[in-house]
Amino acid sequence: MHEFSLIEKYFTWANPPSDVAVAVGDDAAVLNIPKHTQLVTSVDTFIAGVHFPENTPPEAIGHKALAVNLSDLAAMGATPKWFTLALTMPEIDDAWLGDFSLGLKKIADQFDCFLIGGDTTRGNLSITIQVMGVIEQGKALLRSGAKAGDRLYLTGTIGDAAVGLATLLDNFSLAAEDKHYCQKRLNYPSPRLAQSQIIKRYATACMDVSDGLSQDLSHIINASNVGASIDFSKLPLSPSLQSLNHQDAVNYALTGGDDYELLFTIPADKEDAFLKEMKQKVTCVGIINDDFGNIRDQDQNQLSGTGYNHFNGK
Ligand code: ADP
Ligand code: MG
């Protein structure tokens, strides 16, 4: 198959939304940005063997490559609109492309995010997606607004994806249904866009947890010039994580990445109103304080921020 028929078959989507003036097929896309909004954009590269095991199902690769980008928009409080796809692959494999583009299209449709262009090249498998969204002027949710006294919250549960990865790479043994659940959390993360629309009206700071709670929390406290304490007994653990030895479960929850939950801070006087409106699961795991740069547990022990770091030791 020729590169152009490949693009036409898999990546030229029907029925572009009205805010897409020119989509795939010309030299560049042309977009109508809604009045009184700011453009919010983020890019993530996904490399086989680094960001996902080589044998990950292609449908999951398509899903996750967009999901992690949508999660960045959720962390900012933005509404997804469009994305571009730079795809590098070793060969043209119709079955692979069919499954990959299906996974991509399903999640794109779910969150109304339209593919407007990209680039296709030959090489080791790598997927780069740049996502674009919009937000009302001045309303973006940053990492830098947390204040002493704010409550520290998480959506969903954490540690699942890291356990899922351990079952794939390290032969970590787990009951079949727990294994299935954790691998699904690893391969099919759900960007917390619905939650983010409520969070953005109450939170002082927000980010998505991609590298592990302790490391990602250190970004919020450094950006906000504050400290934080976490109560380990409050960490939201799925039934699958609760089936592990408790210390292991807490370690996965603190240092495991890839869950794509939102970590955010809510001022104490807004907590009741926030909780009344938020119907999905959220959990208060700690509090922001003025112990600058430090994260401590319930016994005042200092946490080391050890999540995933691509350049560790290099
Ligand atoms: P150019 O050489 O001008 O950069 P290309 O031949 O790379 O153009 O791409 C032709 C059209 O197909 C462009 O509109 C581009 O955005 C689109 N395109 C190329 N690869 C992809 C892809 N993987 N996904 C979506 N659109 C793509
Ligand atoms: Mg061109």
Quick one: pLDDT at residue 162?
97
Q: What CA–CA distances, in Å, run from 43 to 62, 83, 214, 244?
A: 15, 9, 23, 35
Q: Ligand 1 pocket, 87 CB below 6 A?
A: yes
What pTM, to 2 d.p., does this model score? 0.95
Quick one: pLDDT at residue 311?
55
One of 3.40.50.300, 3.30.70.20, 3.30.70.360, 3.90.650.10 is the CATH number of 151-297, namely 3.90.650.10
Sequence spans of domains, the chain? 3-136, 151-297
Residue whose CB lies within 8 A of the most ligand 1 atoms, among 1, 5, 24, for a mutation test: 24
Q: Which ligand sits closest to the CA of 10?
A: 1
Quick one: pLDDT at residue 247?
93
Q: Ligand 1 pocket, 166 CB below 6 A?
A: no
Nearest Cα residue to 236 out of 161, 164, 160, 158: 158
Contact 258, 208 (CB under 8 A): no
- Provide the pairing of β-strand 295-296 with 227-230: parallel
Quick one: pLDDT at residue 216?
96
Q: Which token pair is 54?
A: 């080589």
pLDDT tens digits along 2-28: 888 999 999 999 999 999 999 999 999
Q: Where are the alpha helices (DSSP H) in 256-305?
A: 271-277
**Regions of the chain with pLDDT less than 70:** 304-314
Q: What is the DSSP letter of 200?
A: T
Q: Ligand 1 pocket, 120 CB below 6 A?
A: yes
Residue whose CB lies within 8 A of the most ligand 1 atoms, among 4, 5, 7, 9, for a mutation test: 7
Quick one: pLDDT at residue 314?
38
Specify whether domain 3-136 bears CATH 3.30.1330.10. yes
Quick one: pLDDT at residue 306?
52
Q: Ligand 1 pocket, 26 CB below 6 A?
A: yes
Quick one: pLDDT at residue 3?
80
